[in-house]
Amino acid sequence: MTTTIADRRIEDAGLEAGIARLTPEKIQKTIQAVLAGEGGARLKTYVETCVRCGMCAQACHYYMSHKDPSYAPVAKVRQTMWEILKHKGLVSPEFIHQCAQIAYTECNLCRRCMHYCPLGIDTAYIMSFVRRICHKLGVTPQYIQDTAHSHSATMNQMWVKDDEWIDTLKWQEDEARDEMPSLRIPLEVEGADFMYSVIAPEPKFRTQLIYQAAFIFNQAGVNWTMPATPGWDNSNMAMFTGDMEIMGRIEMAHFATAQRLRVKRIVMGECGHAFRAIYDVANRWLGWGMHPVPVVHSIEFFWELLNSGKIQMAKKYPGPVTIHDPCNVIRGRGLMDKLREVVHAICDGVVEMTPNREHNYCCCAGGGVINCGPPFKNVRIVGNSIKAEQLKATGVKTCIAPCHNCHGGLDDIIHKYGLGMELKFLGDIIYECMEKKGAS
């Protein structure tokens, strides 16, 4: 069945309030300014080279779940950017609502379709451009916009205040000392080998991940630190709302913190989109050709710790387990082999899901989609039934996903489709099964 975006319109306070402020003339003026200032050769190339072959359709989990051609990547572009260009930006407020709904909630910017396009067109870039236009028009979903506001006010995505961050680290240090009396979470240590950075959900409600990371690093005897200032949060929802200016400010704070501490590199917790912001997008908006301080995802860092013998496993996690490849660190960084080497080193019985590696299906939470909140929750769950089928076909009950957003998205899918699976971070398993020589 073929539908249109108008058939599945969803009310959202941010989108409704946004379009209520618009007129076609205001829209055109803004769009023309964005196109003139930011719509360069890349956009033009993608628009002009698409041959409408439709091979991208089967790359998209929304299409594969609904089998509705209007969810195909090319259809998303047709319903948004092509119309914008065709009408030179003179479109209605309701059309902008539709653009926002497609770009923010029906595309995870996962870049799977790029691998299926014979011309290598990056539809995620085009959808990001649509989001940029929507941001400039003030038409963004309420909940993700709130996270962008939080970033601007606190430099983290969950309104964590300056003292709450430090207090949480001190609390986790205390907790962990019950298990390892000599454990430290070293704050503000100049010249450490690496700064460990996390996303705001960790101090907010996944504090055990900070505990586990601290335990692993102390056990490994590595020279590390965490900052006691804003700049600790490596996440970046402003990148996904299209607020590039706040995106840049967040990343400036992050890198400036690492530079102030004179660390050799930044090691990131198990998050995918944060890696994309730091490694690929926001650093370049700031004018750097690459990141000014090397950035290492936890997959790589755990691989180093295991291969150097700094941590050793007392036992392997009893499998079977399967591996979910997060988009931003697999398609975005190529960590699929290291991820497998780590999982095989810490788990018994690895069952690959199909497809996998760079062809894995997205969790449907990333790209800011899960951050759009309750109004769109069902969209991303129903829109990823293909993921449920993929998970179920493994026949296993444990799925390893080294990414926060993936956990959020997969958890909803597991519950909705009754898969009875549990989700694990790499850190969960390493902490549980490693040798704990310093523990009491």
Partner 1 sequence: MQADQAWDWEPGARTVLEDATACAAPHEWTEEPEASPDGERLAAVANLGDGRFTVCVNAEPWETDFEKAWYLRFSPDGRLTAVTMEDGMWTVSVDGESWEESFDFAWGTTFSADGGVIAACIQSEGTYGMIVDGTPWETLHENANNFRLAADGLHTAAAVQVKSLGQADIATFQQGIFSVAVDGEPWDAIFVNCFDPAIEQKTGRAAATIRRSLYDYSVAVDGKAWDAAYDCAWGPVFHPGNGQVLAPVRKKGLWGMAGDAGFVWNPAFIQCHHPQFSADGATLAAIVAPSFGKFTVAVNAAPWSATFPVVTDLRVSPDGRTVAAQASNDNAAFRVLVNGSVWPGVYDMAYGPVICPATGQVAVRVEKDGRQAFVLGGKAHPETFDRAFNPIFSPDGAKVLLRGISGKAYKRIVAPVSAFTG
Residues forming the site for partner 1 (CB under 8 A): 13-14, 17, 37-38, 135-136, 138, 142-143, 145-146, 149, 152-154, 161-163, 166-167, 170, 177, 181-182, 184, 186-191, 228-230, 243, 245, 248-249, 252, 259, 262, 264-265, 286-290, 292-294, 373
CB of 117 to partner 1, least distance (A): 27
Closest to partner 1 by CB, 221 vs 355, is 221
Closest to partner 1 by CB, 371 vs 385, is 371
* Beta-bridge partner residues of 196: 267
CB of 14 to partner 1, least distance (A): 6
CB of 337 to partner 1, least distance (A): 23
Closest to partner 1 by CB, 6 vs 290, is 290
Q: How many CA atoms lie within 13 A of 373 on its CB side?
A: 16
CB of 259 to partner 1, least distance (A): 5
Distance in angstroms (rounded) separating the CA atoms of residues 198 and 220: 19
Task: Identify whether the C-beta of residue 124 lies closer than 8 Å to the C-beta of residue 110.
Answer: yes
Distances (CA, A) of 255 to 140, 153, 160, 185, 293: 28, 18, 19, 20, 7
CB of 138 to partner 1, least distance (A): 7
CB of 268 to partner 1, least distance (A): 15
Closest to partner 1 by CB, 156 vs 360, is 156
Task: Please choose, from the candidates 386, 306, 320, 388, the residue with its C-alpha nearest in 3D space to the C-alpha of residue 352.
Answer: 320
Task: Please choose, from the candidates 53, 142, 1, 71, the residue with its C-alpha nearest in 3D space to the C-alpha of residue 384.
Answer: 71
DSSP code of residue 279:
I
Closest to partner 1 by CB, 43 vs 382, is 43
Closest to partner 1 by CB, 174 vs 348, is 174
Distance in angstroms (rounded) separating the CA atoms of residues 142 and 13: 6
Closest to partner 1 by CB, 153 vs 314, is 153
CB of 157 to partner 1, least distance (A): 13
Task: Identify whether the C-beta of residue 361 lies closer than 8 Å to the C-beta of residue 59.
Answer: no
For the chain, count helices (H), then strands (E): 24, 7
Task: Please choose, from the candidates 4, 433, 3, the residue with its C-alpha nearest in 3D space to the C-alpha of residue 219.
Answer: 433
Q: Cα 112–113–118 angle (5° rounding)?
A: 125
